[in-house]
Amino acid sequence: MSVKRFSDIFRSFLGVTIFSCVLGGILLFSTAGACPDCAGGKTAAIVVDMQGDFSTWKKGSLAVNGADEAFFEKVGKAVADLSKDGFLIFATQDWHPADHISFYTQHKGKKPFELIDIEDRKQMLWPPHCVQGTENARILVDNNIFLASVKKGKDRKYDSYSGFQDDGGAETEMNKILKRNMVSKVVVFGLATDYCVKATALDALERGYKVIVVEDLSKGVAPGTTTAALKEMKDKGVVVMKELDIKKINAE
Ligand code: VGL
Ligand code: ZN
């Protein structure tokens, strides 16, 4: 009788142990691929739209003040340093069809930098820029350093400042690729602070990433919107760093 009871207790002990192990294993597995919320994920840099058309260097059609050759060199060096330190490096690339809806030339009687209503959203009208396959649509930072570059704004009907999704709500591959690489923290910089850097940083935040923006590795289209963008990002929880400080990034 007492021997039978002992074996019953032993058997249930074994059952609980096996159950716990299996449950633990399942939990471990399910968190491994979803790292934005788990500690110890990797850090990535997202280098935003470092393309000829946004540069004064290449006399781009939508040249951003201060985006000269020295700025591109500085960003290139920062990216090389981050890569050496083990950060995963990604890029975004503005990549529009020639008849893209954001081009003022597609709207009769409209001028560049006019704000118009399209359906239920505001659309800023731009000079034609970053047209697919043109010289000035190229990324001018060493392409070999990127684990992936994500093209955006490919759909003529929607603009896409964010590297994560366009104005129609269509997701790019960015979030999937970051998750696949177990990234939990992103450092965002490039062109332009008040449009694509801001939109990419805020969408990263919304998807659960820790987000750092490096101010001196970014340039804005206009001073007023750039100041406002930096404030909005800070208010929403982005860490805005004046310059690249890898130690500080690792401590965040
Ligand atoms: C951008 C305007 C239009 C940017 C892209 O990269 O910030 N701005 N397309
Ligand atoms: Zn664009």
Which ligand does the CA of 189 lie closest to? Answer: 1
Ligand nearest to the CA of 51: 1
> In CATH, which superfamily holds the domain spanning 40-251?
Isochorismatase-like (3.40.50.850)
Give this prediction's pTM.
0.85
Where does 33-116 have alpha helices with state H?
69-84
CA distance 51 to 140: 6
Structural domain boundaries in the chain? 1-35, 40-251
- pLDDT tens, position by position, 171-208: 999 999 999 999 999 999 999 999 999 999 999 999 99
**Residues 60, 121, 156, CA angle at the centre, nearest 5°?**
50
Among residues 58, 159, 179, 196, the one annotated as catalytic is: 196
pLDDT band for position 8 (cuts 50, 70, 90): low
Distance 94 CA to ligand 2 centre (A): 5
Which residue reads 């696949």 in tokens? 180
Q: Which amino acid is at 224?
A: G
Q: Give the mutation target among 161, 162, 194, 203 for probing the ligand 1 site: most ligand atoms within 8 A of CB.
A: 161
Smallest CA separation from ligand 1 atom 2, residue: 195
CA–centroid distance, residue 70 to ligand 2 (Å) = 23
Q: Confidence band (pLDDT; 50, 70, 90) for 33?
A: very low
216 is catalytic: no
What are 55-94's pLDDT values in tens digits? 999 999 999 999 999 999 999 999 999 999 999 999 999 9
- Is 77 a residue of the active site? no
Report how far residue 39's alpha carbon sits from residue 60's, in angstroms, rounded to the nearest whole number.
41
Pocket of ligand 1 (CB under 6 A): 49, 54, 94, 126, 161, 191-192, 195-196
Q: Which structure tokens are listed for 12?
A: 């249930």
